[in-house]
Amino acid sequence: MDGANRYDQPVAGHFGEHGGRFVAETLTRALEELAELYDRLSVDPEFQAEFQADLKHYVGRPTPLYFAEQLSNSLGGAKIYLKREDLNHTGAHKVNNTVGQALIARRMGKPRVIAETGAGQHGVATATVAARLGLECQVYMGAEDIKRQSLNVYRMKLLGAEVIPVTSGSRTLKDAMNEAMRDWVTNVDNTHYIIGTVAGPDPYPRMVRDFQSVIGKETRTQCLEQIGRLPDVLVACVGGGSNAIGLFHAFINDADVRLVGVEAAGRGLDTGEHAAPLNAGRVGVLHGNRTYLMQDDDGQIVETHSISAGLDYPGVGPEHSYLKDIHRAEYDAVTDDEAMAAFRLLNRSEGILPALESSHAIAWVAKKAKELGPELVVVINLSGRGDKDILTVAEIDGIEI
Amino acid sequence: MSRLQACLAALATGNKKALTTFITAGDPSAEATVPALHRLVRSGADILELGVPFSDPEAEGPAIQASSERGLANGITLRSCLDMVRAFRSDDAVTPVVLMGYLNSVLAMGYGNFASAAASAGVDGLIMVNLPPEEAVAFKQALLPHELDLIFLIAPTTTDERTRMIVSEGSGFLYYVALKGITGADHLDVGPVAERVREIKSTTALPVLVGFGIKDAQAARSIADHADGVVIGSLLVRTMAEFDDEAARLDRLGEQVSEFRRALDAG
């Protein structure tokens, strides 16, 4: 494909042909500074100790690895373990990253942070750490998402953040990210942009991955403690892909551990109404990185659909695109209906209310448990709790709360 | 010598400043663009920038974002932008045309396909807002045989070391972004811009044009004292959208560009 698919210059921040730093020139210096600082901090024992202490005492880590015996029995197949990221402070894995990035903002002496948010979990996690460190915080959120995630919007306001509705484009997560980039271009001197997933320009994909990799590190240790061996299959939902990379990363070199990312098939991959770029997209450039994208023949980014606002994104982190290309991880997709059924299943079988995002991972396992068989150990990343989704589910059930 | 280089060389010889205008293709309608390009030239524009509508224009302010959305709503694609340039070329063989947009449009067509199609349509250069030189190696190679200039931006935040790198990679002209912000933003300060442009010019023979945030002829004049020319965008984009009547739209566009021309040509 005349070089379009080739990797220009192998510099840090590229994952095969994916990743890179495709940004307006004004932002380049800020990204260089961030990368330089992060390269230092990632090997700085003092910073790492500070980060680990916050994860333990503020976030509440380690999170349990829970054997979901009832769920396993009801599905009649693999032994299913849940990595309980829903038990983190603020209710999702997102806070692992925002705690790390807030420490970085403080090191840089930047008094203001901004974030984009889809479901509102990353916005809440950002507003939370900003409140704690006394940073001014503004969160960009698509006007559509504000409607479907009103609880999280109010939570952010209670935390002292300003939620700015984004009315351009499709009024969802991707447009919130555009608007956050525009803010950052304008206020780059005093502002740190806390990107919530493993996408965006370098160094974000690797920095956010590193902060989230605590999930997989703990899972590895817990598996060895609880079952005396590594798991056979790891399953996580993939929107931008931060909880999945967080779980996978510590196992990348364990070739026998199967890595499965589950995208949102929405109303079905064949309907076009989904958010599954790894399953049905093409490589392109958006939000500072080259990766698989949902786009039309003219390269316009198309509107996505998922019942879960957190997966409703047309791109995916570049490292996932790379893991797909080299066949280290596999990426499947489940529909809105399958995710909803899994949401109900986990409530009834285990008394756990999962986020609709995480329900996609559960749905994949529900479909495959028998086929995998009773000898296999499967770990699902239960990336967040579902309180925020209750209104959405009630509406589907025709109940007004 | 390419049309763009010839144009800039002639302006320099005549001690004149380059007036570069930006409008978005297909805004407010597909038919509006080519007549507007001709009117811009008749009213004094030296170089035409034609915006390629993109779904996610990360570096644009509200005016150009909205124009991009209108262009897309009118069904404009990169190929239809090239068709517009071809139509413009049938009546104007000299005025340089530079496409400005985002990399994904070009990636979707393929670098090689795009380069030959753009050259045959009569395009002279490209400004890819989200393509820094480090990521541009393959694209530059594809453009090279077609004598298409890839124009890079330099920002207030660009370090001296990086400026030298960009200068060495650039062709056609260098585009200095006058402010930290998005297109059409509102806090242009001439002093620092002048200083930076002087520094850049001391290191290169390439012309340096200044854009982002130039809102009136007065500002253009002050900037042009220090640069080889200016780029006027959001103001004209707003005019394109303001009038339903084509004659009124073109008249207003002409008035605005003439005013900039007079200011740039005045002593």
Measured between beta carbons, the chain A residues lying within 8 angstroms of B112 are 2-3
- Look up residue B170 and give its two tokens: 């650039």
Q: Among B107, B155, B166, select the one facing A299 at the smallest CB separation.
A: B107
Q: Where in the sequence numbering do the catalytic residues of A fall?
A: 94, 116, 383
Q: Which residue has tokens 């932002």?
A: A27
8 Å CB contact of B134 and A299: no
8 Å CB contact of A286 and B56: yes
CATH of domain B3-260: 3.20.20.70
CA distances from A377 to A69, A222, A227, A229, A261 (A): 12, 13, 9, 10, 16
- Look up residue B68 and give its two tokens: 């991009």
Summarize pLDDT for B45-60 with one digit per residue, the tens.
999 999 999 999 988 8
8 Å CB contact of A21 and B132: yes
Complex confidence, ipTM: 0.95
B109 touches chain A (CB under 8 A): yes
CA dihedral A47, A50, A51, A53 (to 10 degrees): 160
- Look up residue A306 and give its two tokens: 């998922």
B7 pLDDT higher than 80: yes
8 Å CB contact of A22 and B113: no
pLDDT at A11: 56
A332 touches chain B (CB under 8 A): no
Mean pLDDT computed over A190-202: 96
Closest to A92 measured CA to CA, from A390, A381, A392: A381
The residue extents of the domains of chain B are 3-260
Q: Which residue has tokens 């093409």?
A: A282
Which of A372-381, B59-68, B177-186 has the least mean pLDDT?
A: B177-186
- Look up residue A288 and give its two tokens: 């500072």
A267-304 as b/e: b if 16+ CB within 10 A: bebeeebbbbbbbbbebbbbbbbbbbbbbeebbbbebb
Q: Among A181, A285, A288, select the one facing B107 at the smallest CB separation.
A: A285
A174 touches chain B (CB under 8 A): yes
Task: Report the DSSP pairing between strands B153-154 and A377-382.
Answer: unpaired
**Cβ(B132)–Cβ(A27) under 8 Å?**
no
A4 pLDDT higher than 80: no
8 Å CB contact of B108 and A298: yes
B196 pLDDT higher than 70: yes
For testing contact with chain B, the best of A14, A15, A18, A182 (most B CBs within 10 A): A182
B108 touches chain A (CB under 8 A): yes
Model confidence band, residue A283 (pLDDT cutoffs 50, 70, 90):
very high
8 Å CB contact of B108 and A168: no
**Cβ(A306)–Cβ(A263) under 8 Å?**
no
Summarize pLDDT for A161-176 with one digit per residue, the tens.
999 999 988 888 899 9
CA dihedral A56, A60, A63, A68 (to 10 degrees): 160
pLDDT at A170: 82
pLDDT at A1: 32
Summarize pLDDT for A215-252 with one digit per residue, the tens.
999 999 999 999 999 999 999 999 999 999 999 999 99
What percentage of chain A has pLDDT greater than the value 70?
A: 97
8 Å CB contact of A299 and B109: yes
Summarize pLDDT for B112-125 with one digit per residue, the tens.
999 999 999 999 99
Query: How far apart, in whole angstroms, are the C-alpha atoms of residue A5 and residue A292?
Result: 12
Model confidence band, residue A12 (pLDDT cutoffs 50, 70, 90):
low
Considering only residues 156 to 175 of chain B, which have any Cβ-Cβ distance to chain A shorter than 8 Å? Answer: 156-159, 162, 166
pLDDT at B188: 79
CA distances from A353 to A87, A93, A385, B13, B106 (A): 11, 15, 6, 73, 45
Q: Among A2, A188, A288, select the one facing B157 at the smallest CB separation.
A: A188
Model confidence band, residue A150 (pLDDT cutoffs 50, 70, 90):
confident
Query: How far apart, in whole angstroms, are the C-alpha atoms of residue B141 and residue A350?
Result: 58
Question: What pTM was computed for the model?
Answer: 0.95
8 Å CB contact of B182 and A297: no
pLDDT at B70: 97
pLDDT at A59: 98
What percentage of chain B has pLDDT greater than the value 90?
A: 91
What percentage of chain B has pLDDT greater than the value 70?
A: 98
The alpha helices in A159-229, defined as continuous H runs, are 173-186, 204-212, 214-227
A21 touches chain B (CB under 8 A): yes
B24-43 as b/e: b if 16+ CB within 10 A: bbbbbebebbbbbbbbbbeb
B167 pLDDT higher than 90: yes
Model confidence band, residue A7 (pLDDT cutoffs 50, 70, 90):
very low
* Mean pLDDT taken over chain A: 94
Model confidence band, residue B179 (pLDDT cutoffs 50, 70, 90):
confident
8 Å CB contact of B78 and A189: no
pLDDT at A133: 95
B144 touches chain A (CB under 8 A): no
Mean pLDDT computed over A275-282: 98
Model confidence band, residue A8 (pLDDT cutoffs 50, 70, 90):
very low
pLDDT at B127: 98
Q: Where in the sequence numbering do the catalytic residues of B fall?
A: 49, 60
Measured between beta carbons, the chain B residues lying within 8 angstroms of A282 are 108
Mean pLDDT computed over B258-265: 98
Tell me the nearest-neighbour CA distance from A332 into chain B, angstroms: 24
**Residues with Cβ within 8 Å of residue B37, at least 6 apart in sequence:** B23, B48, B50, B84, B88, B92, B97
B182 pLDDT higher than 80: no
pLDDT at A187: 92
Tell me which chain A residue has its CA closest to the CA of residue B73: A169
Mean pLDDT computed over B71-85: 98
Q: Among B58, B106, B132, select the one facing A28 at the smallest CB separation.
A: B132
Which of A347-356, B25-34, B207-216 has the least mean pLDDT?
A: B207-216
A190 pLDDT higher than 70: yes
Summarize pLDDT for A41-95 with one digit per residue, the tens.
999 999 999 999 999 999 999 999 999 999 999 999 999 999 999 999 999 999 9
For testing contact with chain A, the best of B80, B157, B193 (most A CBs within 10 A): B157
A334 pLDDT higher than 70: yes
B97 pLDDT higher than 70: yes
DSSP symbols for A261-307: EEEEEET-GGGS-SB-HHHH-EEEEETEEEEEE-B-TTSPBPP---S
Tell me which chain A residue has its CA closest to the CA of residue B114: A2
Mean pLDDT computed over A201-209: 96
Task: Report the DSSP pairing between strands A136-142 and A162-166.
Answer: parallel
Q: Among B59, B102, B134, select the one facing A9 at the smallest CB separation.
A: B134
Coil/strand/helix, residue A200: coil
Summarize pLDDT for A286-326 with one digit per residue, the tens.
999 999 999 999 999 999 999 998 999 999 999 999 999 99
8 Å CB contact of A2 and B78: no
